[in-house]
């Protein structure tokens, strides 16, 4: 059975312009030891689906699904307390802005140990040992000293490593990474992606990469879901997606990559959308 | 004394749709706050009463009825039908005086806030835009003003300028003005380094244009909120000064002055102090509620989106 | 054809931090002696990571900040804004486009005013002329005259970047500094904006300085590439030279770190993962 399985998920938001559907009827499943990438542009609802799973959406959102199970638990009928126990321990999430995800008032060591205390009920010395071990795992040099640093004393890449350490502190079964490298430089991005994938292999986690960057997909994913305006356009394993994309949207997206440029000008997704509009005119 | 709202200028259709969209968004956030809507309704009512005062008021505010001194409100024993809220110690109709008093209070609020806002904003923009010694000079003066208890400072100023409604307004405006200066300075400092300002500078905009045409319009939201809150503050302080005999002079039907006149009858005739007090309370509360609503609607940090 | 539009000779920019009542003043060398020449109609890409001084250099080229030392020549004329006032004539030659399309437009200014402002401040054109020119420019960047009276918040990121480009072109500059113009945009929109930039370059024979951290974009758009690392130029040459045969170790690291999305690399990666 899949680790996380979602059927027909829809998320709507109440706005002053009426109900806005951010996600419409998405099916999704992730296995242990699998890297699933969800690709889409801004407004495609790629983050919203995962926030719905984590129960992190604001009150104005309405979430409906036929089923949503994680590791055998039905996430739809779960109480808030049960969900909080699972979120953070079995499912962990890292975000785009590492600096903003860490509390600037506390040392990174304190924030890491807080998670260990809350979810793993460890005592002081064990926590310290585990924290140092985690920092070593995510490749932070001289972990003993770094634990006492404040977030502003570290670089963006270092902060993202701390976030990853916090995320994997409780050996989660599923790690959700929401644009984990968008705010980072290319060289740092490479290091963080390599780290994520190696941790995923080592711990046998499921990993969901939410990204807009086809390069990141190519470098990490096993399987890919392409999303556009809240709908799933295509789901395929990474090789066949890049080799022979089925959906016209994916094809358009790939040909818009500057490295795939043929001739003087790039082909754009607008061309795709024009075609789509034309098709919609013909077929209902 | 009371300003009629000028009718909206006819606009191009696309322009109106933009304004309408903006307004509907504003109203969406504003109406979430029920207190603000109630406050707004009360405020509109007050403004209408102030504007149409002479038509509504049953009596002239200075007319003394020698045979009806300290008449209780009409529903009490001894009350008279013609004096709904009773009369004061010299036989003037309380309701009429309160209605005319609304004109004074709103007038005071309007003038004080306008004056405080204009000077405060200019000083704040200068300080925030130029920084350096200009900033230090202006802000230290503001700090000195802020270091005094506001009412005490207003009292001192009135004592120097001489008692009277106009001098009281100047004093209150001076006391309130540092808040605007500080707020403007902070807003200008955060906007100053935004890219659109640099772009405007590159297009050749001079200092004045950058300060007042490019930056200032983007700093208005917190200023509007501060303006409404200062409005109620001004009314309150004008009333306080009036009560202390330093503001509007009798027989002006200003609410604070009315309170002061009624002080000695507080035990014999509850209505002469209660109704002016209630009038101040309701007005200030309504404006504060509107201010809170505006803050919710205009402050982008509180907006969830 | 080989007319040099922009030349930098040993440009240095230092920042002084601290130096208050206590604590010693520290000097940060943001740009350490950069030299280059750029011909008309060409695109120079400045590549580097955050904090390498590429944006600082961009601000010097656009006459926003003065250089600490070194010479900057635009159209062969030396200019140093620390000494002389920027004349309207100089300002008309160089314009900049910023990375963040949400921050670079005044939210309280209608598009018409945004485009009209440079003309209002630098020319004697009448309101009607300004209006006509702004309308024409809107069409040129792929928007329409109907957008003239709208506010920036009614536009998407890509459309705003088009407006920013239109504004920069209002004074018909010869040199455009593009500071990460597409990195805040979605892939599809990025392609459109890059195409637009290429079209405009052909039409007006514009010279671009393209600041970016994205090597795939640089490879697509640049004629010459300059790689910066901690304020220094570590690699400078034509696109073919730099991409085919990088000399400096940093450039090589940069290339190695860029994600590869061709099928062979994916196949290799998957095979490696399976073996592990």
What are the tens digits of pLDDT across the range B208-254? 999 998 999 888 888 888 888 888 888 888 888 888 888 888 888 88
Is residue C67 domain-resident?
A: yes
Q: What is the mean pLDDT of residues C76-94?
A: 81
Lowest mean pLDDT among A23-27, B125-129, B174-178: A23-27
Minimum Cα–Cα distance from B218: chain C residue: C108
Q: Are B296 and B22 contacting, i.e. CB atoms less than 8 angstroms apart?
A: no
**Residue located via tokens 């102030």:** B50
Long-range contacts at A251-257 (CB < 8 A, ≥ 24 apart): A252/C188, A253/A39, A253/A214, A253/A226, A253/C187, A253/C188, A254/A214, A254/C261, A256/C187, A256/C188, A256/C190, A256/C191, A257/A214, A257/C187, A257/C216, A257/C261
Q: Is C141 helix (H, G, I), strand (E, B) or coil?
A: coil
Cβ neighbours of A46 in C, within 8 Å: none
pLDDT for the residue numbered B43? 92
User: Which residue has better confidence, C22 or A114?
Assistant: A114
Contact C262 A242 (CB under 8 A): yes
Contact B28 A58 (CB under 8 A): no
Q: How far is CA C246 from CA A168, A190, B128, C162, C241, in A?
A: 38, 19, 47, 34, 7
β A231-237/C77-78 pair status: unpaired
Cβ neighbours of B217 in C, within 8 Å: 106, 108
Q: How far is CA B162 from CA B159, B247, C198, in A?
A: 5, 9, 72
pLDDT at B143 over 60: yes
pLDDT digits (tens, 9 = 90+) for A156-167: 888 888 999 998
Question: Residue B199, Cα to own-chain centre: how many angstroms?
Answer: 37
pLDDT digits (tens, 9 = 90+) for B90-102: 888 889 999 998 9
Distant-in-sequence, close-in-space partners of B23: CB < 8 Å, separation ≥ 6 = none
Contact B25 A16 (CB under 8 A): yes
Domains and CATH numbers, chain B: 33-298 (1.10.3720.10)
Neighbours of A259 (CB within 10 A): 17
Closest partner residue to B202 among C62, C100, C149, by Cβ?
C62
Q: How far apart are the C-alpha atoms of C224 and C238, rounded to whole Å?
A: 4
Contact C191 A238 (CB under 8 A): no
Based on DSSP, count helices (H) and strands (E) in chain A, helices before strands. 12, 11
Cβ neighbours of C50 in A, within 8 Å: 185
pLDDT for the residue numbered A256? 83
pLDDT for the residue numbered B304? 42
Using alpha carbons, select from A200, A218, A223 the residue that is nearest to residue A36: A223
Min Cα separation A21/chain B (Å):
14
Domain count, chain C: 1
Q: What is the DSSP letter of C84?
A: S
**Domain around A276:** 247-284
pLDDT for the residue numbered A271? 61
Contact A212 C269 (CB under 8 A): no
Please say whether the dihedral angle defined by the alpha carbons of residues C253, C257, C263 and C266, taken in this order, is positive or negative.
positive
Is residue C271 domain-resident?
A: yes
pLDDT at B142 over 90: yes
pLDDT for the residue numbered B303? 46
Which range among A19-28, B41-50, B159-168, C262-271 has the greatest average pLDDT?
B41-50
Q: How many pairs of residues across A and C have Cβ atoms under 8 Å apart?
A: 111
Query: Max alpha carbon distance in chain A (Å)?
Result: 69
Is residue A275 domain-resident?
A: yes
Using alpha carbons, select from C206, C129, C114, C209 the residue that is nearest to residue C162: C114
**Domain around C74:** 1-86+209-276
Is residue A278 domain-resident?
A: yes
Q: How far apart are the C-alpha atoms of B43 and B20, rounded to whole Å?
A: 23
Is residue C229 domain-resident?
A: yes
Using alpha carbons, select from B93, B92, B109 the residue that is nearest to residue B2: B109
Q: Are B185 and B135 contacting, i.e. CB atoms less than 8 angstroms apart?
A: yes
Q: What is the DSSP string of A132-189?
A: HHHHHHTT-SSHHHHTT--GGGS-HHHHHHHHHHHHHTT--SEEEEESTTTTS-HHHH
Cβ neighbours of C257 in A, within 8 Å: 186-187, 189-190
Q: Quick one: residue C18, left, alpha or beta (phi over 0 = left, psi -120 to 50 = alpha)?
A: left
CB proximity under 8 Å: A 169-188 to C: 185-188
pLDDT at A283 over 80: no
Q: How far apart are the C-alpha atoms of C106 and C152, rounded to whole Å?
A: 7
Using alpha carbons, select from B126, B63, B112 the residue that is nearest to residue B90: B63
Is residue A23 domain-resident?
A: no
Is residue C165 domain-resident?
A: no
pLDDT at B294 over 60: yes
Contact B304 A58 (CB under 8 A): yes
Min Cα separation C72/chain A (Å):
29
B15 touches chain C (CB under 8 A): yes
pLDDT for the residue numbered C28? 83
**Six-digit token pair at A76?**
């739809």
Neighbours of B146 (CB within 10 A): 15
pLDDT for the residue numbered C18? 66
Is residue A254 domain-resident?
A: yes
Q: How far is CA A249 from CA A228, A243, C22, C188, in A?
A: 8, 14, 60, 10
Contact C64 B14 (CB under 8 A): no
pLDDT digits (tens, 9 = 90+) for A252-262: 888 888 877 76
Min Cα separation A10/chain B (Å):
19
pLDDT digits (tens, 9 = 90+) for C33-47: 899 999 999 999 999
Report the percentage of chain A scoring pLDDT > 90. 13
Please say whether the dihedral angle defined by the alpha carbons of residues A131, A132, A134 and A140, taken in this order, is positive or negative.
positive
Q: What is the mean pLDDT of residues A59-68?
A: 85
Minimum Cα–Cα distance from A14: chain B residue: B305
Strand order of the sheet with strand A35-39? A91-94, A174-178, A206-211, A35-39, A223-228, A231-237
Q: How far is CA B117 from CA B184, B227, B266, in A?
A: 10, 7, 37
pLDDT at C227 over 90: yes
Q: How far apart are the C-alpha atoms of C268 and B117, rounded to whole Å?
A: 67
Q: In CATH, what number is assigned to the domain containing residue C224?
A: 3.40.50.300
Beta strand residue intervals within chain C, DSSP E: 4-18, 25-39, 43-47, 69-74, 77-78, 94-97, 175-179, 207-212, 224-229, 232-238
Angle at alpha carbon of residue C169, lines to A263 and B214, rounded to 5°: 135
pLDDT at B105 over 80: yes
Q: Which helix (H) or strand (E) covers residue B224, if one does?
A: helix B220-243
Based on DSSP, count helices (H) and strands (E) in chain B, helices before strands. 12, 0
Q: How far apart are the C-alpha atoms of C268 and B162, rounded to whole Å?
A: 90
Cβ neighbours of C63 in B, within 8 Å: 202
Using alpha carbons, select from B176, B174, B165 the residue that is nearest to residue B254: B165
State phi, psi for C74 to the nearest 5 degrees. Answer: -115, 125
CB proximity under 8 Å: C 157-186 to B: 164, 167, 171
A276 touches chain C (CB under 8 A): no
Cis before C275 (ω within 30): no
Closest partner residue to B202 among C95, C146, C151, by Cβ?
C95
Q: How far apart are the C-alpha atoms of C212 and C190, rounded to whole Å?
A: 13
Q: What is the ipTM of this complex?
A: 0.84
C19 falls in which pLDDT band (50, 70, 90)? low
Report the percentage of chain B scoring pLDDT > 90. 28
pLDDT for the residue numbered C22? 62
Q: How far apart are the C-alpha atoms of A135 and A169, rounded to whole Å?
A: 10
B25 touches chain A (CB under 8 A): yes
Domain count, chain A: 1
A262 touches chain C (CB under 8 A): no
Distant-in-sequence, close-in-space partners of A91: CB < 8 Å, separation ≥ 6 = A4, A53, A54, A70, A172, A173, A174, A175, A176
Closest partner residue to C64 among B194, B198, B217, by Cβ?
B198
pLDDT digits (tens, 9 = 90+) for A127-151: 899 999 999 888 888 888 888 989 8
Q: How far apart are the C-alpha atoms of B164 and B247, rounded to whole Å?
A: 5
Chains that touch B (3 or more CB pairs under 8 A): A, C
Q: Are C4 and C37 contacting, i.e. CB atoms less than 8 angstroms apart?
A: yes
């Amino acid at each position: 059975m899949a680790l996380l399985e979602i059927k027909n998920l829809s998320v709507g938001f109440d706005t002053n312009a009426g109900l806005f559907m951010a996600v419409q009827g998405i099916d999704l499943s992730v296995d242990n030891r699998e890297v699933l990438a969800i690709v889409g542009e801004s407004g495609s609802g790629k983050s919203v689906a995962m926030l719905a799973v984590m129960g992190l959406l604001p009150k104005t959102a309405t979430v409906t699904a036929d089923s949503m199970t994680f590791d055998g638990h039905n996430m739809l009928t779960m109480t808030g307390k049960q969900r909080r126990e699972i979120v953070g321990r079995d499912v962990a999430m890292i975000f785009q802005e590492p600096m903003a995800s860490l509390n600037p008032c506390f040392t990174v060591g304190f924030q890491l140990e807080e998670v260990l205390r809350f979810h793993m009920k460890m005592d002081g010395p064990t926590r310290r040992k585990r924290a140092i071990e985690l920092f070593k795992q995510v490749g932070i040099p001289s972990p003993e000293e770094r634990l006492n640093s404040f977030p502003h004393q570290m670089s963006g890449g270092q902060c993202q490593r701390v976030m990853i350490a916090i995320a994997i502190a409780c050996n989660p079964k599923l790690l959700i990474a929401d644009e984990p490298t968008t705010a980072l430089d290319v060289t740092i991005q490479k290091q963080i992606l390599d780290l994520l994938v190696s941790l995923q292999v080592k711990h046998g986690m499921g990993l969901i990469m939410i990204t807009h960057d086809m390069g990141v997909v190519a470098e990490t994913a096993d399987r890919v879901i392409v999303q556009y305006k809240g709908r799933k356009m295509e789901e395929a394993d990474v090789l066949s997606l890049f080799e022979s994309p089925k959906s016209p949207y994916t094809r358009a997206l790939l040909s818009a990559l500057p490295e795939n440029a043929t001739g003087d000008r790039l082909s754009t997704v607008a061309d795709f959308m024009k075609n789509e509009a034309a098709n919609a005119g013909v077929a209902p | 004394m009371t300003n009629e709202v000028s009718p909206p200028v006819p606009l191009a259709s696309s322009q109106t749709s933009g304004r309408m969209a903006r307004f509907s968004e504003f109203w969406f956030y504003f109406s979430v706050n029920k207190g603000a809507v109630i406050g707004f309704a009360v405020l509109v009512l007050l403004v209408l009463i102030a504007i149409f005062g002479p038509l509504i008021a049953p009596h002239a505010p200075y007319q003394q009825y020698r045979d009806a001194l300290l008449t209780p409100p009409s529903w009490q024993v001894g009350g008279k039908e013609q004096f709904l809220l009773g009369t004061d110690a010299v036989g003037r109709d309380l309701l009429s005086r309160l209605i005319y008093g609304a004109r004074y209070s709103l007038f005071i609020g309007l003038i004080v806030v306008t004056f405080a806002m204009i000077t405060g904003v200019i000083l704040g923009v200068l300080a925030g835009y130029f920084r350096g010694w200009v900033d230090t000079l202006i802000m230290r003066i503001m700090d000195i003003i802020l270091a005094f208890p506001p009412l005490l400072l207003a009292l001192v100023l009135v004592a120097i300028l001489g008692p009277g409604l106009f001098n009281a307004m100047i004093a209150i405006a001076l006391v309130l003005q540092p808040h605007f200066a500080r707020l403007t300075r902070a807003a200008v400092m955060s906007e100053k380094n935004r890219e659109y300002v640099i772009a405007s500078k590159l297009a050749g905009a001079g200092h004045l244009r950058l300060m007042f045409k490019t930056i200032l319009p983007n700093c208005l939201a917190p200023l509007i909120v501060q303006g409404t809150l200062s409005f109620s503050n001004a009314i309150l302080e004008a009333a306080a000064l009036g009560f202390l005999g330093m503001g509007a002079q009798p027989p002006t039907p200003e609410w604070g002055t009315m309170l002061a006149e009624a002080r000695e009858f507080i035990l014999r005739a509850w209505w002469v102090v209660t109704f002016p007090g209630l009038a101040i309370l309701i007005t200030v509360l309504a404006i504060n509620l509107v201010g809170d609503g505006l803050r919710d609607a205009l402050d982008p940090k509180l907006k969830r989106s | 054809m080989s007319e040099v539009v922009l030349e930098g000779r040993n440009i240095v920019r230092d920042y002084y931090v601290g130096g208050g009542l206590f604590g010693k003043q520290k000097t940060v060398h943001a740009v350490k002696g950069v030299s280059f020449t750029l011909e008309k109609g060409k695109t120079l890409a400045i590549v580097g990571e955050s904090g390498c001084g590429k944006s600082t250099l961009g601000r010097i080229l656009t006459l926003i900040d003065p250089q600490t030392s070194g010479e900057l020549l635009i159209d062969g004329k030396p200019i140093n804004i620390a000494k002389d006032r920027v004349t309207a004539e100089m300002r008309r030659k160089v314009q900049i486009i910023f990375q963040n399309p949400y921050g670079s437009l005044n939210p309280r200014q209608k598009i018409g005013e945004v485009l009209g402002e440079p003309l209002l401040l630098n020319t004697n054109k009448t309101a009607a002329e300004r209006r006509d020119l702004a309308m024409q420019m809107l069409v040129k960047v792929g928007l329409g005259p109907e957008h003239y009276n709208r506010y920036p918040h009614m536009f998407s990121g890509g459309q705003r970047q088009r407006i920013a480009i239109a504004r920069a072109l209002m004074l018909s500059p010869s040199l455009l500094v593009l500071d990460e113009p597409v990195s805040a945009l979605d892939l599809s929109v990025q392609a459109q904006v890059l195409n637009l930039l290429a079209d405009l370059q052909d039409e007006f024979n514009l010279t671009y300085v393209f600041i970016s951290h994205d090597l795939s974009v640089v490879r697509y758009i640049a004629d010459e590439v300059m790689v910066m690392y901690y304020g220094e130029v570590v690699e400078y040459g034509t696109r073919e030279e730099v991409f085919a045969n990088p000399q400096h170790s940093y450039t090589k690291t940069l290339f190695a770190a860029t994600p590869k999305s061709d099928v062979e690399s994916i196949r290799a990666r998957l095979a490696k993962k399976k073996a592990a």
